[in-house]
Amino acid sequence: MTLIDVREGFPELPATAEAWLGELSGPTAVRVPGRDGSRLRVVSGLLHGNEPSGLRAIFELLRRRALPATRVLFFVGGVEAARHGAGLVHRMVPGRRDLNRCFRAPFSDRDGAVAQAALALMQDEGLEAVVDLHNNTGHNPAYGVGVAADPGRLGLTSFFARRFVTSAFELGALHEAFPAHVPAVAIECGRAGDPAADALALAGLAELLAADRLPLGKRDDFQVLVDPVRVRVRPNVMLRFAEQRVPDADLTMAADVDRHNFQRLDAGTRVGWVRGTSLPITAVRESGEDVSEAFFALRGSELVTRRPMVPIMMTTNATVAVLDCLFYAAREA
């Protein structure tokens, strides 16, 4: 872990975030002083190496050299993954753990050690808020994720989005690692590579860091989703995305299935096609309860919803779907 302290001046930076990424030796934290030295705000970006909006927003704010309202700790975590291969294409280094699943004990491997070192830097009596900037692989509006839809988390999210999803899944994500009184959220800024996602991350972050006080509660037209279930592909299921059923695939999802993100699906809506007579997916609540058959059913060769739901994070990337999840299904509060 490299720590850069800019109390004596901001670092000289290259022309682009990608060039800066090439100069970093590995996971990097940057401390920036603020007008109020008693409070700290933490901003993380690039925990996943193929999600660059956070990196670009952090870089641009460092380049502007503006003094924020409070002290800030920037954390750029997935440097090795981002530089692997062609660059900005790998979620994590192949063969290693997802860094955003490492922020809880045991910290026994290389990525766990990075997470542990980052958390040690973030432990501060003045810690006021934590924002972790992400992209996703499907078509999604911007939204926030946190362990509770309390006023602090909703207010923090409102700098970036008008949607919020509660999630008590204990995955080892960064936003799960803080006590209840510290609002911590993951912000999904939109699809990776979309200039609009980069612009949203930068505008929201600039407003957040300039604000003397953080808002409490939600702004107008705010959608809150609760009780998500995690939908995953069963082991050894062959998954394909296509316009119609692929005969040799166990599960075929529509090539544009992500159009359903944040839309209400009625019971009986087709979400895919199957080969065989058993569900090729699982649906698990935050408690660990398997509710697959309560949420999904087979109708001939079709996979359909058994109850109304609002899907989020539907992806059309088969690798992400298998390594992480296919989507989450929630309900409106």
pLDDT of residue 250: 97
Do 275 and 212 belong to one domain? Answer: no
What 3-state DSSP class applies to 63? helix
**Among the three residues 161, 188, 221, which one is the final residue of a domain in this structure?**
221
Do 321 and 175 belong to one domain? Answer: no
- Each residue's pLDDT expressed in tens, for the chain with a length of 333 residues: 999 999 877 889 999 999 999 999 999 999 999 999 999 999 999 999 999 999 999 999 999 999 999 999 999 999 999 999 999 999 999 999 999 999 999 999 999 999 999 999 999 999 999 999 999 887 889 999 999 999 999 999 999 999 999 998 899 999 999 999 999 999 999 999 999 999 999 999 999 999 999 999 987 789 999 999 999 999 999 999 999 999 999 999 999 999 999 999 999 999 999 999 999 999 999 999 999 999 999 999 999 999 999 999 899 999 889 989 999 999 998
Do 190 and 266 belong to one domain? Answer: no
Task: Give the CATH number of the domain where residue 72 resides.
Answer: 3.40.630.10
Do 215 and 276 belong to one domain? Answer: no
pLDDT of residue 7: 82
Domain total in the chain: 2
Spatial distance between the Cα atoms of 153 and 146, rounded to a whole number of angstroms: 7
Question: What is the number of other CB atoms lying within 10 angstroms of the CB of residue 262?
Answer: 19
pLDDT of residue 24: 96
pLDDT of residue 129: 98
Q: pTM for this structure?
A: 0.90
Do 167 and 310 belong to one domain? Answer: no
Spatial distance between the Cα atoms of 186 and 220, rounded to a whole number of angstroms: 20
pLDDT of residue 138: 78
Do 72 and 161 belong to one domain? Answer: yes
Residue with tokens 């209840």: 180
Do 305 and 163 belong to one domain? Answer: no
pLDDT of residue 11: 84
Do 193 and 206 belong to one domain? Answer: yes
Spatial distance between the Cα atoms of 200 and 138, rounded to a whole number of angstroms: 17
- Do the Cβ atoms of 57 and 198 come closer than 8 Å? yes
Q: What residue ranges in the chain does DSSP mark as E strands? A: 2-5, 28-32, 36-45, 70-76, 127-136, 143-146, 163-166, 184-191, 223-233, 239-242, 251-254, 270-274, 281-284, 296-299, 302-305, 310-312, 327-332
Do 127 and 217 belong to one domain? Answer: yes
**Tokens representing 68?**
């924020």
**Tokens representing 330?**
């929630």
**Among the three residues 176, 202, 221, which one is the final residue of a domain in this structure?**
221
Do 264 and 325 belong to one domain? Answer: yes
**Tokens representing 241?**
């995305």
Do 280 and 153 belong to one domain? Answer: no
pLDDT of residue 139: 83
**Among the three residues 190, 221, 252, which one is the final residue of a domain in this structure?**
221
Do 85 and 200 belong to one domain? Answer: yes
**Containing domain of residue 83, as a range?**
2-221
